[in-house]
Amino acid sequence: MDMKLKPFDFSQAVARAGLSRDGMPLAKTRASEDVDKASFSSAMTDALKAVSSQQLKAEHLQHEFQLGNPSVSLEDTMIAMQKSQIGFQAALTVRNRFVQAYTDVMNMQV
């Protein structure tokens, strides 16, 4: 087994860590702030899409069970329905917390 090690490049490691050569953090650029905003919104979008897909899966299993499909069991259908219900309740809780936080901020006196 031939194993070659590259020499350690300090400046490259410091740049990847987001620090200047003297160890101080670099100022955030506008592009990095946009990435932070995009990552939060994309995380929320992904979470809502996951809840939606879980609800569609539960609805499909329920429909197939009602039609008498022998490959769909009652247990699988009930589990899928409970998963979709829990996901929906979690999404509602997050929404309610955001609305409450917004209301609290808007009611603050300046």
pLDDT digits (tens, 9 = 90+) for 72-97: 999 999 999 999 999 999 999 999 99
**Mind giving me the DSSP string for 26-55?**
PPPPHHHHHHHHHHHHHHHHHHHHHHHHHH
Q: What is the pLDDT of residue 25?
A: 76
pTM exceeds 0.75 for this model: no
pLDDT digits (tens, 9 = 90+) for 35-55: 555 677 788 889 899 999 999
Cα angle: 64, vertex 69, 71; to 5 degrees: 105
Identity of the residue numbered 17: A
